[in-house]
Every structure is written in C-alpha cells, then in structure tokens.
C-alpha cells in the first residue's frame, strides 16, 4: 500500500488529532456524532484504527510500519515502546519536533531535497535513524533559513515546549538530540499495545 496523498481532513475526521499529518482541525458534525454513538465498534476496528493513526501520523506505508514492528519485536523491552521510539527517532519526525517543519510531510520534503545535514553530512533519507549526540543543521541557504525561522516562530506560538530529548538553538538553526525520547513526550495519543496486537493477529 502506497503512502497516502489524499485529503488530510478526511483522515482526521475519522482518526481524530494527528499533529504530524496536519495542524488543521475539522468542524464537528452533529449528525455524524449521533450515528457513531449508536454503532457497536468491534475490537478489530479499534486495533485497526490505532494502527492507522500510527501510519498517517508518521507518514508510513503499510510495509514500512510492518518492518518497524518486526524490528521492535526483536529488540529488548516492550515491543510497543520500542516501536514508538524507533518512529520518533526518524529524521523527518525529529525535524517536526524541533519545529523546523509544520508537519512530518513538510519535514520529509526538506530532507528529500537535500536541505538537511546530520553531523555536518547531508542526509536525504527521511527515515534516517537519529541517535543521541547527533547535531541537525540546515544547509546555508538564506531563503531556506528564513522559511525555517518562520516555522520555528509558529511552532513556539502553538506548542508548549520542546520534548526533553531535544535542544534547539534558534540563532544557528541547529538542533541537538540529547537522548532517546521518553514515552511521556510523544505528542501522538496512541495505545501502542493495540498496534502490536493488530500485527500479532495478522501473522
């Protein structure tokens, strides 16, 4: 299944808030609220929707998400927690969390176009796994710096503060990764155990 490129509001009407996909909020529809409250929701649908939240928030294909689940299963610790940490430490998500892009698709575009450096080396792979002590910078282009500063200003107005695993120096447009993310700082409200259950039942 390919990456979703359709209307984003349609997705968040069904799955609720997905900050990585879009900052827009849909208008509530009274008729749809009444219809949904009368329906009995199956356990399969609940697990499937949690999986879809993860896919659309991080902008993954079905194959990519399944690959991350398999890696998390082989790692030590809780599969769900390891899965979220793997996704949160992707380069495109780190840029989004730093406020350098308004959404994860926007961050992915910055990376794909070769605008981002990690430890002074250009990286053009959005899924690049960042590590503690990595330094994230942008290539020295005045126009791009102006766009990113605008994104940072918007980020600072609309969100509380940076997660504790990140530091950002606005004058230099430079981000630092201090440590692996703690689960309490993950912005997406998700029950990761239901995602693990979904894939265990598919196997």
Gap between the Cα atoms of 6 and 8, Å rounded? 6
What pLDDT shows up at residue 1? Answer: 42
Which is higher by pLDDT, 30 or 21? 21
- Please give the residue that has the higher pLDDT: either 32 or 161: 161
Q: Give the pLDDT confidence score for residue 132 in this predicted structure.
A: 95
Model pLDDT, residue 145 = 74
Residue range 108-136: mean pLDDT, rounded: 94
Mean pLDDT of 12-41: 58
User: DSSP letters of the chain?
Assistant: -PPP-S-HHHHHHHH---TTT-S--PPP-HHHHHHHHHSPPPHHHHHHHHHHHHHHHHT--HHHHHHHHHHHHHSSS-HHHHHHHHHHTBHHHHHHHHTSSSSHHHHHHHHHTT-EEETTEE---TT-B--TT-EEEE-S-HHHHHHHHHHHHHHHHHS----TTEEEETTTTEEEE-SSPPGGG--S---HHHHHHHHHHH-
Output DSSP code: residue 107: H
Q: Please, what are the domains in the chain?
A: 8-86+188-202 (1.10.1050.10), 90-179 (3.10.290.10)
Terminus-to-terminus CA distance in the chain, angstroms? 17
The rounded radius of gyration (Å) of the Cα atoms in the chain is 18
Does the CA dihedral 144-150-156-159 come out positive or negative?
A: negative
Please give the average per-residue pLDDT across 11-24, as a whole number.
62
Convert the pLDDT of each residue in 63-74 to its tens digit: 999 999 999 999
- Comparing 20-34, 53-67, 120-134, 163-177, the range with the smallest average pLDDT is 20-34
pTM of the model: 0.81
């Amino acid at each position: 299944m390919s990456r979703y490129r359709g209307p984003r509001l349609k997705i968040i009407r069904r799955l609720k808030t997905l900050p990585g996909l879009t900052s827009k909020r849909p208008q509530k529809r009274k008729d749809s609220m009444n219809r949904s409250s009368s329906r009995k929701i199956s356990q399969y649908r609940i697990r499937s929707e949690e999986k879809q939240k993860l896919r659309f928030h991080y902008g993954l294909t079905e194959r990519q998400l399944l690959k991350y689940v398999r890696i998390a299963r082989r790692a030590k610790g809780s599969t769900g927690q390891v899965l979220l940490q793997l996704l949160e430490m992707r380069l495109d998500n780190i840029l989004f969390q730093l406020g350098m892009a308004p959404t994860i698709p926007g961050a992915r575009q910055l990376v794909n176009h070769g605008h981002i450096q990690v430890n002074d080396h250009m990286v053009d792979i959005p899924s690049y796994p960042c590590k503690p002590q990595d330094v994230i910078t942008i290539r020295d282009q005045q126009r791009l710096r102006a766009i990113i500063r605008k994104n940072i200003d918007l980020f600072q107005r609309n969100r509380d503060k940076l997660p504790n695993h990140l530091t950002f120096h606005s004058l230099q447009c430079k981000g630092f990764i201090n440590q692996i993310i703690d689960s309490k700082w993950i912005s997406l409200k998700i029950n990761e155990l239901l995602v693990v259950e979904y894939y265990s039942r598919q196997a």
